Amino acid sequence: MHYIDELIVSEIRLKNDRILHELYKLHFPMIRRLVMANSGSEHEAKDIYQDAIIAFYERCQQPDFQLSCKISTYLYAVSRRLWLKRLNEKKWTPMSIHEADVFPDIDTEMVRVDENEANMGRMQLALSQLGEPCNSVLLDFYFNKFTMEEITGKFGYTNTDTAKNQKYKCLQRLKKLFFAK
Amino acid sequence: MDQDIIEMLDQYFRNELSQERRREIDERLKNDASFKGEAERHFAFLQTLENAGRRAALKNSFDLIHQHIPADERKPVVVPSPGFRRFWPAIAVAASVALLSVVTTVLTMQNVSETESKYIDLRRNVEQIQRSQKAQKAILDDIASKKADPIAASYTGTGFMVSGSGYIATSYHVIRDADSVYIQNERFGILKAIVVRTDQVNDVAILKIDDPAFTPSGQLPFVITSAQSDLGAGVFTLGFPREEIVYGEGTISAATGYKQNVTAYQIAVPVNPGNSGGPLVNQTGEVVGMISGIQTEALGAAFAVKSNILLDVINNIPADSLGKSIQLSRYNRLKNHDRTQQVKRLRDYVFMVKVYNQR
């Protein structure tokens, strides 16, 4: 694979956000052209593109991930599939653009992408139903990796034990909401 | 699961437990199947939660930078015209040049404390340089004209002759993935070579010149020493970080290499991509090592494989894969020469190693 693409993947693995952002800026026009040439709006292009680039980002984080095609090919092929799906949902005519740029394992990749999307959708919904401050407590602890002391301070709990207690209760509620449907 | 167990698993998930506690839990996970099941479900849930948080954060940051993307010209886009398709490669190349420059600036400006130090091989990626040059040229020149460029090497490194019968030592990482290998210098011109021995662990490869244009050159004027070099010993190297042979000098700064690797020296010699495989020579003109890589974290920390390792690799080449065993030179004819004389003699035996691959 291309050296530069491998370099980008390894930088993204090291959580180099600047590279990720530059990558984002670089390939958006390509996806915008694709979506807008196929009865989509710029806003829809942005939605699709963000999902594709997040899928790419998440793949990069997996230790077994091996880039099997150019990054632009990955983004194009995944975006195209996502947009096709969106069009199907809208019962619009499928795209006229033929599949020029694909990589061999696109089908398994799309299964993975769709699964992730569904899972994430459920989690986002559960989080929004959970409300504050639970939402922030959990994300601060499990995603932002704050310490219990930091959380105690930030949310004004009397001590870390109270904070731990709250965190536990919030997590139980979130699990209930997530597994409800 | 009750609160205490969740608390414990959370700490496990966040890697905050002492080794002892961690081992205890590992033990329990191994022996208690129902506990394992519950723990795994909990971890999977936390992973989903973490991913959701990251997604939200990513989308936010994307929305922010999205404002900096210039808006489309708002022309209703129809089917891409053939004309557009014709220019698409050029546009794509231009875009990748842009990213390339961004990547390289970000890399050079990167905060070194942010990640653990990295070890970098010093083979030179020609494609990287070539592609950006080619791309700029392509955009400036007529895009449609299809002049055949002379095929350019994918990677280059350095190598040096270890036996007058045509054996060349270089770094393994230079010739890794090679479809074909050529060596080149002023005295011998361009010669085809084949890889006869690799030692991936020590990053050593031995090539043999396989070209009718090559006539064996007899005994080499320098020797490869099996003795260890002392700290502070003055050394120099010759190599091809660019098309021209480049001299660099410095000292042996540590008796071990990257991560206490005893088979290498740390050296304070300015080296660059392309220097890999170059000989490291001491003041008396003996080869004491071979340049292999640098550490990104510490400025000026480069590494060289020790010459005794190199000798081991050469001596372990089975005779049958060679025809006859390699004759190493025994007499150091550079001993009483000054540095410039040594370099003058040596440079005849230092080559640019050009690696081609079709990937």
User: Over B254-270, what HEC string results?
Assistant: ECCCHHHCCCEEEEECC
pLDDT exceeds cutoff 50 at B80 = no
- Tell me, yes or no, whether B180 and B279 share the same domain: yes
- The Cα–Cα gap between B99 and B105 comes to 10
Residues B132-161 have a mean pLDDT of: 58
The DSSP secondary structure of B247-305, one letter per residue, reads EEEEEEEESS-GGG-TTEEEEE----TT-TT-EEEETTS-EEEEEEEEESSSTT-EEEE
pLDDT-derived band at B145, boundaries 50, 70, 90: very low
| Catalytic annotation present for B217 | no
Torsional sign, CA B309, B337, B189, B274: positive
Residue-level pLDDT at B170: 94
pLDDT digits (tens, 9 = 90+) for B190-241: 999 999 888 888 889 999 998 888 888 788 999 999 999 999 999 999 999 8
- Tell me, yes or no, whether B25 and B72 share the same domain: no
Residue-level pLDDT at A48: 92
**Residue A142 forms contact with B (CB below 8 Å):** yes
| Catalytic annotation present for B276 | yes
pLDDT-derived band at B284, boundaries 50, 70, 90: very high
Which residues in chain B are contacts of A100 at CB distance < 8 A?
none
DSSP state of A63: T
- Tell which of B13, B14, B51 to mutate to test the A interface (max A CBs under 10 Å): B51
Residues B130-151 have a mean pLDDT of: 45
Q: State which of B69, B89, B111 marks the end of a domain.
A: B111
Residue-level pLDDT at B311: 92
Residue-level pLDDT at B21: 84
pLDDT exceeds cutoff 80 at B99 = no
Distance from CA of A122 to the nearest CA of B (A): 10
- Tell me, yes or no, whether B36 and B151 share the same domain: no
Residue-level pLDDT at B84: 47
- The Cα–Cα gap between B160 and A55 comes to 46
- How many CB atoms lie under 10 A from the CB of residue B126? 18
pLDDT digits (tens, 9 = 90+) for B157-203: 999 999 988 899 999 888 887 888 999 998 888 999 999 888 888 88
ipTM for the complex? 0.84
- Tell me, yes or no, whether B133 and B151 share the same domain: yes
Q: What angle, rounded to 10 degrees, do the helices at A106-130 and A42-61 form?
A: 100
- Tell me, yes or no, whether B286 and B264 share the same domain: yes
Residue-level pLDDT at B330: 83
pLDDT-derived band at B265, boundaries 50, 70, 90: very high
pLDDT exceeds cutoff 50 at B77 = no
Flag if A174 and B49 touch (Cβ within 8 Å). yes
Among B74-88, B102-116, B199-213, name the most confident range: B199-213
- Tell me, yes or no, whether B106 and B39 share the same domain: no
Q: Count of domains in chain B?
A: 3
Distances (CA, A) of A58 to A71, A117, B42, B51, B202: 13, 11, 20, 8, 34
Backbone angles phi, psi at B207, to 5 degrees: -110, 155
pLDDT-derived band at A22, boundaries 50, 70, 90: confident
| Catalytic annotation present for B203 | yes
CA triple B205-B207-B213, angle to 5 deg: 165
- Tell me, yes or no, whether B275 and B317 share the same domain: yes
| Domain hosting residue B107, numbered range | 55-111
Which residues in chain B are contacts of A178 at CB distance < 8 A?
45, 48
Residue-level pLDDT at A33: 85
Residue-level pLDDT at B109: 42
pLDDT exceeds cutoff 50 at A47 = yes
pLDDT exceeds cutoff 80 at B296 = no
Flag if B72 and A4 touch (Cβ within 8 Å). no
**Residue B1 forms contact with A (CB below 8 Å):** no
- Tell me, yes or no, whether B199 and B291 share the same domain: yes
pLDDT-derived band at B139, boundaries 50, 70, 90: very low
- Tell me, yes or no, whether B88 and B145 share the same domain: no
> Which of B 134-163 lie inside 8 A of A, CB atoms?
none
CA triple B153-B175-B125, angle to 5 deg: 45
Of B103 and B343, the one with more pLDDT: B343
Strand partners, B205: B170, B198
- Tell me, yes or no, whether B68 and B200 share the same domain: no
pLDDT-derived band at B317, boundaries 50, 70, 90: confident
The structure tokens 């490291």 sit at B280
On average, the pLDDT of chain B sits at 78
Active-site annotation holder among B203, B229, B292, B307: B203
Domain of residue B256, CATH code: 2.40.10.120
pLDDT-derived band at A100, boundaries 50, 70, 90: low
Residues B77-93 have a mean pLDDT of: 49
- Among A90-94, B296-300, B334-338, B343-347, the minimum mean pLDDT is found in B296-300
**Residue B98 forms contact with A (CB below 8 Å):** yes
A25 closest CB neighbour out of B49, B51, B69: B69
Residue-level pLDDT at B159: 95
Among A48-57, A77-86, B46-55, B113-122, name the most confident range: A48-57
Q: State which of B88, B111, B134 marks the end of a domain.
A: B111
CA triple B74-B76-B77, angle to 5 deg: 110
Flag if B62 and A178 touch (Cβ within 8 Å). no
Distances (CA, A) of B169 to B36, B138, B175: 53, 37, 11
- The Cα–Cα gap between B170 and B233 comes to 23
- The Cα–Cα gap between B134 and B34 comes to 61
- Tell me, yes or no, whether B218 and B321 share the same domain: yes
Residues B57-81 have a mean pLDDT of: 68
Distance from CA of B276 to the nearest CA of A (A): 18
Q: State which of B52, B73, B91 marks the end of a domain.
A: B52
- How many CB atoms lie under 10 A from the CB of residue A128? 10
B52 closest CB neighbour out of A27, A120, A168: A120
- Tell me, yes or no, whether B79 and B204 share the same domain: no
Residue-level pLDDT at B92: 57
Q: Tell the burial category of B220 from Cβ atoms under 10 Å away from its Cβ (0-12, 13-18, 19+).
A: buried
**Residue A39 forms contact with B (CB below 8 Å):** no
Residue-level pLDDT at B204: 92
pLDDT digits (tens, 9 = 90+) for A103-132: 777 778 888 888 888 888 888 888 888 888
Residue-level pLDDT at B346: 93
Distance from CA of B274 to the nearest CA of A (A): 16
Whether the bond into B279 is cis, omega within 30 of 0: no
Strand partners, B251: B234, B268
On average, the pLDDT of chain A sits at 82
pLDDT-derived band at B91, boundaries 50, 70, 90: low
